[in-house]
A and B are shown apart, each in its own frame.
Chain A
């Protein structure tokens, strides 16, 4: 694809390039001889006749002829190069090379070479892959390169990015759910409830916090419960247990995606939240997603000695 806004520039660059090479050759051939001074006895003087600083004479020590031909050869090489590869304006060159094409080719080669390694794991179930030490190392590399930027190197998550090591899942923790999440991504929307007014928001906040056993004003909790039933049950359920089909979080488990302090919950209610897990299907191959699924699933399932207090 041409980077020029119109074809004129392409011609301009082509002409400048070719004229430059021609000028180099002209300079080389026009300057290959110099006028020299003859000595008194008629022999050629060894110097060029140039004298600086009173007595510094420039001698003529001719370069070998092949040296000159190397310059000519460089120009010929340049012309051949410009014919074969892109370089003259927007001319793609005889082999139509591009760095993008080169990358695509390298990726195809790399994927072909790695295929046997992945094929072994694709044939296995997620549970089996998760138990394989080699697969876990590969999964960790994939995770660290592709996921750790948001979910953290330890998969412990961050504000707005779920912790992947607990057994709490927004969209379900079964292998198929995880694979679906990685492949197609997720968009978790919590709408804004600013229309409830400041008092309403404070009351709902107290109620929601009380679900996780956090300190709350009992009068406000009672008021908030009514507002909750009218506005929140559609997604979070009557008991606040959430809904994995919608990705609505469980509000009773002390695990907070955006934080559980009074002010943070109020902020969530007032402004809403836009959670976003980007789809990886165009970034990672299905085999890699399979390995990654096993790694993520294994983070919370394959660890019998896990002693995290919940």
Chain B
């Protein structure tokens, strides 16, 4: 049992039942201004500009950023990625995960508080809410109004949800615009000829935005997002987190401006509870670091304003580390602790992976070749003097320019490569972003080759004709030449 009692003094333990599920208490955060609020708004504007703007950019007569799932091609400016390039997605995800580790080790949930779409859209929706229904106190009063609603409440609710839905559906539309060309999507919407799946996903993402940013809000962070649950393993005692300076603030209490707090034995916290009112997840930061804290810094902004009013130094709540509070470190000492082994290791990994990623993208070969040996027959004798094996060669041109492809094969003496009619293969034209199947015969003289498997190498050379120059691309593909018994 958890309850400990002084020896000899029995305590009565009464058992009652309590629900493991409770009705969610609605949170009406008070709006804040300040440094961190400005940072957040800056990032809201930046991410939204990026999100809404990117699909409308054009690149060489096509949408600059388009994830074409139907044709399995991802266009990112000059880059066309094929399903075979899935390794880049893997790398990107690994880099993202490691960056998250790195930032979390340095300063906690930076992503959550400023750039996560959940936060960004909640911020936008809260701004709309504030403009229409008023700030916290006005909204709380509105909430108290029971059914039947007054005309005013009805009007405010209808206006708010209309604006919310408008934003939500604009977001959903933009999102599907990353997967189907957005310009044609717009035409389809205007003449009501949107396909069933496009309509479905539009509605899906529209309602998801409306529901998540309008209703679910902090519950997504608290109950659905795995990050809240595993962040504790990435945060250590030197991590900058939103912290209430207990030693400075306690004992908290309200006071008159004229009263001498030393006389009353009070700390700096005036117990105004504004830090709780502004918290979008409804926690009290003065209880210490909690998994629900998304590190948005709203309480810092709010507390600093209060400290200014009562003429106390700012920073009763601030970004600082557990060690800094415990050991009363100076700011410089605390900042110096950023360069600790954990951070350096993460940073090195991220730097190495980003360089690798950039290098492999830069040196990516848009010519791809697959050689498939015919399984139906081992080998064929031709007119008693030659032996031939049959291969199917798939040449993929992953660039956006035509390629002139020539073939060679090496590994045995007198190897000849012929097309399926037995003719010499001249240069082959492969269209941009397409692939071509080519059945070929590889022939050698019977001579004195012992029966067995001989490794051979297909050497495929392509000239990629861009607008200004022709680039040489090469691929070597291994296969086997079989001499039967």
Interface residues of A (CB under 8 A from B): 31-40, 42, 44-45, 47, 49-51, 57, 60, 62-68, 140-141, 144, 148-159, 161, 165, 299, 303, 305-309
Contact = CB atoms under 8 A, between A and B. Distances in A.
Contacts of B24: 64-66
Interface of B: 1-3, 11, 13-24, 219, 223, 374-377, 380, 383, 388, 390-392, 419-423, 437, 439-441
Nearest to B436: A137
A49 B13 CA distance: 11
Contacts of B439: 144, 148, 152-155
Contacts of B20: 31-34, 60, 62-63
Nearest to B440: A154
16 contacts: A35-B15, A35-B18, A36-B16, A40-B3, A45-B3, A62-B21, A64-B223, A65-B22, A148-B376, A152-B377, A154-B419, A154-B420, A154-B421, A305-B423, A306-B421, A306-B422
B281 to A, nearest CB: 13
A120 B19 CA distance: 71
A238 to B, nearest CB: 28
Nearest to B373: A153
A199 to B, nearest CB: 27
Contacts of B376: 148-152, 158, 161
Nearest to A155: B420
Interface of A is mostly: mixed
A155 B380 CA distance: 12
Given A38-B13, A144-B437, A156 B420 contact: yes
Best-surrounded residue of B3, B437, B441 (most CB of chain A within 10 A): B3
A141 B392 CA distance: 12
Contacts of A165: 420-422
B11 to A, nearest CB: 6
A67 B24 CA distance: 10
Contacts of A32: 19-21
A151 to B, nearest CB: 8
Given A62-B22, A158-B377, A159-B377, A44 B223 contact: no
Given A144-B437, A152-B374, A152-B376, A67 B21 contact: yes
A134 to B, nearest CB: 14
B16 A38 contact: yes
A64 B16 contact: no
B421 A303 contact: yes
A64 B420 contact: no
B428 to A, nearest CB: 14
Contacts of B21: 32, 62-65, 67-68
B390 A36 contact: no
B15 A154 contact: no
Best-surrounded residue of A45, A63, A148, A153 (most CB of chain B within 10 A): A153
A157 B379 CA distance: 10
B422 A308 contact: yes
Contacts of A34: 17-18, 20
A156 B17 contact: no
A306 B388 CA distance: 19
Q: Which 3 A-B pairs have the closest CB atoms?
A: A158-B377, A154-B420, A153-B439
A50 B3 CA distance: 10
B2 A49 contact: yes
B390 A152 contact: yes
Contacts of A150: 376
Contacts of A151: 376
Given A34-B17, A35-B17, A150-B376, A64 B390 contact: no
B229 to A, nearest CB: 12
Contacts of A156: 380, 388, 390, 420, 441
A63 B423 CA distance: 74
Contacts of A63: 20-22, 223
Contacts of A33: 17-20
A35 B1 CA distance: 13
Contacts of B437: 140-141, 144
A149 B375 CA distance: 7
Contacts of A157: 380
Given A60-B18, A152-B376, A152-B390, A40 B11 contact: yes
Nearest to A260: B384
B420 A51 contact: no
Contact of A64 (B1, B18, B219, B391): B219
Nearest to B382: A156
Contact of A37 (B2, B380, B391): B2
A110 to B, nearest CB: 15
Contacts of A66: 24
A64 to B, nearest CB: 4
A307 B16 contact: no
Best-surrounded residue of B14, B20, B377, B419 (most CB of chain A within 10 A): B20
Contacts of B380: 152, 156-158
A159 B24 CA distance: 76
A154 B1 contact: no
A144 B23 contact: no
Contacts of B377: 152, 158-159, 161
Nearest to B14: A38
Given A153-B392, A155-B420, A308-B422, A45 B2 contact: yes
Given A39-B3, A64-B23, A149-B375, 10 more contacts: A37-B1, A40-B11, A51-B2, A62-B21, A65-B22, A68-B21, A154-B419, A156-B380, A156-B388, A305-B423
Contact of B441 (A37, A62, A141, A154): A154
A34 B19 CA distance: 6
A38 B11 CA distance: 10
A40 B15 CA distance: 12
A83 B231 CA distance: 43
B58 to A, nearest CB: 31
Nearest to B379: A158
Contact of B390 (A140, A154, A299): A154
Contacts of A64: 21-24, 219, 223
Nearest to A58: B2
A66 B15 CA distance: 26
B19 A51 contact: no
A68 B22 CA distance: 9
